[in-house]
Structure 1
Amino acid sequence: MESFRYSNQEKHSQATLVTLSVIHQARQKDVCSQRVIFDVYGKVAHRIARRYLSDKAKVDDAVANAMFKVLVNMSTCQFEAVAAFEGWVKRIVVNECLAILKKEKPFESFDQADIETVYIDETIIEDLTAEKILEVIYSLPPGYRAVFNLYEIEGYSHAEIAEMLGISTGTSKSQLSKAKALLQKKIIELDPSYGKRRFVL
């Protein structure tokens, strides 16, 4: 199954409104610039949080906590490019989501049942909209979804994920494999005709 790292919607659209000048002014506590940062990246943070958290209240908590930390701590950081600032904001949001997930301990209760491994024809992925792919990702169990997001979308290595989640590298690899298998099964279920094109490995 091909990587899902192409799903980078949060890096576009309204984020283009933010310039280095706006970031610099926000670092200097300019209220108008801080409002721009909050409005633009609050939406970005919400999209990221939804990938990790199913409960709306927890999504809102993660976004609120993350944006508070962004506005409070950005004055202590230097940013040479808007992309660097965006990456910093995203890491804060992801960390807030993981902090909430860790309280629920989903990484200690992974389903160890064998999941059938399947091969998905490339046309199946190509025919799905980004919205539909995200919808399927949202349906994954929290622990699987976290590992999948961190590796396939955020681009972290298994070693980094293991450190972030307090699990072993082997467990990270295993859960990614199982997350993909479950994701593939759910994609097939979207349309009965998909099942006719699958090949069990």
Structure 2
Amino acid sequence: MSFNIRHLKGKHALSLEDAVKRCAQVGDERSKEFIYKTCYGYIRAITMRYVRNEFDAEELTNESFIRAFNKIGTFNSEGLGDRFEKSFRAWLGRIAVNISIDFLRAQKQLLALDDVSESEIEHRPVPVSGNLHVEDIMKLLLQLPEIQRTIFNLYEVEGYSHEEVSVLLAIPESTSRTYLTRAKKKLRELYLASTNITAGF
């Protein structure tokens, strides 16, 4: 399902806050279109971090907006002031993450985890690379195994705690930590390989 984006007409331009409140109160279609147009790129970027296929990412993006519009009345906008847009985008982003995880689980792409030994669990941060930029990370992420990419996204990009990741993916916190460590190490290896740098690990 997709939305038909039209040029918004009217004497007064909407703000995101006005559009969200109007959508929550009366389900205003013009407001929905404004929210979709304003936040589409942000949500598409999230879904693309979880799935490799652009068609799937588009479907997940549209599903995220549909679910958000159905639940928009639950978004608490009271007293946010200047923090409104940031808070709303975070709320919308979490919906997109949950839908992406549901999709991966339904497609059985979150495969059974390898055995994780206690000795493998890292209790200190593992640097990826001081020269590794966000754009580089996003490209290299696509080369990671599904579970590593998902946990890296949830923890490092979306800001979930290991406790939240464990609940969302139904895995122990220690497993979340271990797969994050594996993801960081793999990203560093991929980066060094892509720049023809060799280093011991």
Whether TM-score is above 0.5 comes out as yes
Counterpart in the other structure of 1:20: 17
**Secondary structure of the structure 2 residue equivalent to 1:159:** helix
Distance 2:152 2:58 in 1: 22
* Counterpart Cα distance in 2 of 1:72 and 1:191: 46
CA contact (8 A) 1:158 1:172 kept: yes
Give 5+ residue unaligned stretches, structure 2: 1-13
- Of 98-107 and 32-41, deviating more is 98-107
Does 2:170 align with 1:172?
no
Post-superposition offset of 1:58? 2.0
Q: Is the 8 A contact 1:120 1:199 kept in 2?
A: no
Deviation, 1:106, is 4.0
1:86 corresponds in structure 2 to 89
**C-alpha separation between the residues in 2 aligned to 1:121 and 1:145?**
17
Structure 2 distance, partners of 1:42, 1:50, is 12
The structure with the largest alpha-carbon Rg is 2
In 2, distance between residues paired with 1:90 and 1:101? 17
128, 143, 147: which one aligns with 1:143: 147
Q: 1:107·1:167 contact (CA, 8 Å) conserved in 2?
A: no
Letter of the 2:36 counterpart:
F
C-alpha spacing 1:160/1:119, structure 2 compared with 1 (3 Å): closer
CA displacement, residues 25-72 of structure 1 (integer Å, 9 cap, x when unaligned): 222322222111011222211110000111223212211211101112
Q: Any stretches of 5+ residues in structure 1 without a counterpart?
A: 1-16
Q: Among residues 17, 29, 32, which one is paired with 2:30 in the alignment?
A: 32
State the distance in 2 between where 1:43 and 1:165 align.
26
1:66 aligns with 2:69: no
**What is the alpha-carbon distance in structure 1 between the residues aligned to residue 166 and residue 104 of structure 2?**
14
Q: CA RMSD in A?
A: 2.5
Deviations 1:113-143 (A, max 9, x none): 999x986552x32xx4x32221011221211
The verdict on how the C-alpha distance between 1:101 and 1:21 changes in structure 2, with shifts beyond 3 A counting, is: same
* Residues 141-190 of structure 1: CA deviation (Å, up to 9, x unaligned): 21110000011111111111000001111111111111111111110111
Q: Which has the higher contact order (CA 8 A, sep 6+)?
A: 1
Provide the TM-score with structure 2 as the length reference: 0.77
**In structure 2, distance between residues paired with 1:75 and 1:103:** 28
Letter in 2 for 1:156: Y
With structure 1 as the length reference, what TM-score do the two structures score?
A: 0.77
